Structure 1
């Protein structure tokens, strides 16, 4: 599973520390934060970021509109078309490039005749749903535990830090394969989200913890304490808003890792359960046909590669922009 890279410590916009009677209330209310207009303007000038964002949006729309797209194409991901394969050749698709035609836009699966386009768009729905759900759960766990460990310190920090060290040193892939193999196939998508998140949150939590420890010593936090603000208010009103850019960048960088993890587990046979479509599952099934029908491997493989690449490039560009802005 891909480990997100560390980021430069965020530089917060500090609250005023004026000694007038109104200063404590202003400090407790939190410092104003800059909007994201500058970040978006910088990304718009980056061709790589825009191309990556365009492909991510395209795949997202395909996943959301999968029922509509398959209705237009005329094939569901589970329908068999025996007329599109040649039984005398072991089920090879009829026609060039794996049976690509006006009826089957990306050809058909060898042996079964299922429409590859329909399975790819529904596979995008599965991959995106699992990756985004795992990212959301990982972000909630990582940010919450990182804030608690970094701000309160002491034994709380010791316990959370030791758990993070253990999970980060644990052979996650082997454990995932063992657990998913032993658990029932029902609700496999939900199990994938939980298992991926269990091993994913420490990477974000460690970064949030370090930045929280730094921010907790800043003047605007001291002013909030002097105004009588409690720990919970300081964490959520003063520290958390200053971690917003870091959290967004880390979440963007985590998505491609989780897409790859889901595809890898499905490739190994412990991920999404057939006949539900999955890109990793399709790539695994294409191995034995690669020599005679390379198109069956190329189409889902290209979709997976481009999606992971697009999220990675977008995350790197976003991180570079945020670092440059915070450096100023």
Structure 2
């Protein structure tokens, strides 16, 4: 059966369906961000880091220094393994210098560390979003016992001090594929926050006129969920997932810093910062470079997420 009237209403909503509120399209968001210097700078830096991560194998092949290659000539054993030269061994051969004692190229490890950080953060965001949308919509759409069970599970997980339990869980698990374990553990504690937002919006949308009209016209449950309700959650999901990525990058770095995240010799920004703690007084560059990349990446993602939220809120309020 056709649902012409509900479809017209749906196109007027926040993202796709609430009557009276203009849609916030991807083109509108992109156009607004192009006129925001902070968003442009953030996007430019993130594009550079992503390019470094994607092209890391090619770049290291050209420089001849892999992330785990030892360069004994780049360190001075007479000085306890400090890099030769100034600024931690920065030179044309080692753009960001080398690590003390082993001479591994910091530039190569920064690039490969970016691959690890983004892979874990994006994978955790995808899994968190999937779980949050599924359980949040189940609770909001069906209500009753389904809502009660899912809501209590969300309350239970949100009541935990998540970082402490992540450390405890990861410490007790075998090393295995640490990246996969990190994604799973982060997602387990992360999905309830998104699910609660999805549940609340679904509870509101399920009683709106355009959904009732679609239901009265004979639309199936799948049609109601995927054509009427889910499109209206798009704006909120874009904002929440954009803001989740920097949080998960920071979480991965923090867990690696504490020794329960990515295990050596796999490069990780948090692991590099942890290794640099005992050297920062004599080789501050070894601490500053991974710390600066971590800080600027999280800051850029956070700024970009805030700007997207501002554009989305303005679109829904207009």
TM-score by length of 1: 0.91
- Residue of structure 1 in register with 2:220 after alignment: 230
Q: Give yes or no for the alignment of 1:310 onto 2:300.
A: yes
Deviations along 1:138-176, one digit per CA (max 9) or x if unpaired, are: 000001111111111011001111111111110111111
Q: Give yes or no for the alignment of 1:123 onto 2:113.
A: yes
Aligned mates of 2:30, 2:272 — CA distance in 1? 36
Deviations along 1:125-148, one digit per CA (max 9) or x if unpaired, are: 000000000000000000111111
Aligned with residue 245 of structure 2, among 219, 234, 255: 255
Aligned mates of 1:37, 1:256 — CA distance in 2? 23
Deviations along 1:21-69, one digit per CA (max 9) or x if unpaired, are: x9x6324657333432222111111000111111111111111111011
- Shift in Å at residue 211 of structure 1? 0.6
SS in 1 for 2:278: helix
Indicate conservation of the 8 Å contact 1:256/1:307, yes or no.
Answer: yes
Aligned mates of 2:235, 2:132 — CA distance in 1? 15
Q: Which runs of 5+ in 1 are unaligned?
A: 1-21
Count how many residue pairs are aligned between Structure 1 and Structure 2: 306
Indicate conservation of the 8 Å contact 1:27/1:227, yes or no.
Answer: no
Indicate conservation of the 8 Å contact 1:98/1:296, yes or no.
Answer: yes
SS in 1 for 2:87: helix
TM-score by length of 2: 0.94
Q: Give yes or no for the alignment of 1:299 onto 2:277.
A: no
Aligned mates of 1:103, 1:69 — CA distance in 2? 12
Q: Give yes or no for the alignment of 1:176 onto 2:176.
A: no
Greater Cα offset, 150-159 or 30-39: 30-39
- Shift in Å at residue 72 of structure 1? 2.0
- Residue of structure 1 in register with 2:124 after alignment: 134
CA RMSD of aligned residues (A): 1.2
- Residue of structure 1 in register with 2:32 after alignment: 42
- Shift in Å at residue 268 of structure 1? 0.3
Q: Give yes or no for the alignment of 1:320 onto 2:310.
A: yes
Aligned mates of 1:203, 1:137 — CA distance in 2? 13
Aligned mates of 1:161, 1:312 — CA distance in 2? 28
- Residue of structure 1 in register with 2:43 after alignment: 53
